[in-house]
Amino acid sequence: MQKYFLIVALTFSISAFTQSFDHVYKNLDAIKMIATYTIHSQQDSTNPSNIRNGKMLLFLSDSLSEFLNMALYMNDTITRKFTTFEQLQEYMLDTKRPMPASLYRIYKNYPKQKITYTEHIPSSTYKFEEELDLFQWKLTNDTITVCGFKAQMATCDFGGRSWIAWFSPDIPYSDGPYKFNGLPGLIVKVYDTRNHYVFELVSINKPAKGLMIDIEDKEYVVTTKQDFFSAQDSFREDIVNRAKEAGADNAMQQMAAKNMAERNNPIELIRK
């Protein structure tokens, strides 16, 4: 029971949900296509068996895109309908609800020629911008088929990793999962050469009419990429105190520290 209490307490903290229901969202553009990707990630660089699998969504419009975890989107869609804290509390205590493995949202070409990254670190939501043109791609003549689409290979170095991407000119979006973009067609598969992170397209479909890319209009901690990761590192280092505040005993505090220590393999090893 105590373990369950700790998980719930941390989930409440990390989720970015609050007791306020006056959230305001700014519509950015109508979604034209939804690309769904699987993600395979090795959380612990020293343990190849510590693998996390999930699904990610890329919302594509005529002018911009948004990339986020599918479970995060499902939670967001459900909780936007709530009008009382009791509804939210009941939902958060439901162990069968979707559990997002990542809480970031990445907007490409918003603002124009920029990448906007948002993520919640208790007790604030951070936002920083990067240039859209992050990648120096090298195209090759190699081709494969991914999700029924003929794809061409390109390579680049990014974030301390070497990456191989497969893009399809048949899907006319210069976009892809995570921050990846800038190729003459949608990136349908991309992975680092150690296979620690693998994104692969599993479907692409038109959405229901009227579905929008939006962003919460709120007070963000506007920062730099480096300062954001410094804040994230500080949270990780303070996890024992946070577990203690949540009522965990020494054993549970150490388990929280161990679990955090095993998440030592971020997608970007170099953060600048």
- Quick: pLDDT tens for 167-217: 999 999 999 999 999 999 999 999 999 999 999 999 999 998 889 999 999
Residues paired with 60 in a beta bridge: 33, 65
In the chain, which stretches have pLDDT less than 50?
A: 1-16, 19
The amino acid at residue 227 is: D
Residue 46's φ and ψ, nearest 5 degrees, are: -95, 0
Residue-wise DSSP of 32-101: -EEEEEEEEEES-TT-TT-EEEEEEEEEE-SS-EEEEEHHHHHHHHHHTT--SHHHHHHHHT-TTS---S
Which candidate, 167, 202, 196, 192, places its Cα nearest to that of 182? 167
Residues in the chain: 272
Which residues have a Cβ under 8 Å from the Cβ of 106 and sit 6 or more positions away? 66, 67, 68, 115, 116, 117, 178, 179
Q: What is the pTM of this model?
A: 0.91
Residue 162's φ and ψ, nearest 5 degrees, are: -95, 135
What are the Cα distances from residue 206, in Å, to 13, 58, 146?
34, 12, 19
Which residues have a Cβ under 8 Å from the Cβ of 189 and sit 6 or more positions away? 146, 151, 165, 166, 198, 199, 200, 201
Q: What is the predicted pLDDT for the residue at 92? A: 80
Residue 58's φ and ψ, nearest 5 degrees, are: -120, 110
- Quick: pLDDT tens for 80-104: 888 888 888 888 888 888 888 899 9
Q: Is 13 exposed, middle or buried (0-12, 13-18, 19+ CB in 10 A)?
A: middle
Tell me the C-alpha distance between 269 and 193, whole Å. Answer: 14
Which candidate, 230, 134, 144, 147, places its Cα nearest to that of 178? 134
Q: Is 167 exposed, middle or buried (0-12, 13-18, 19+ CB in 10 A)?
A: buried
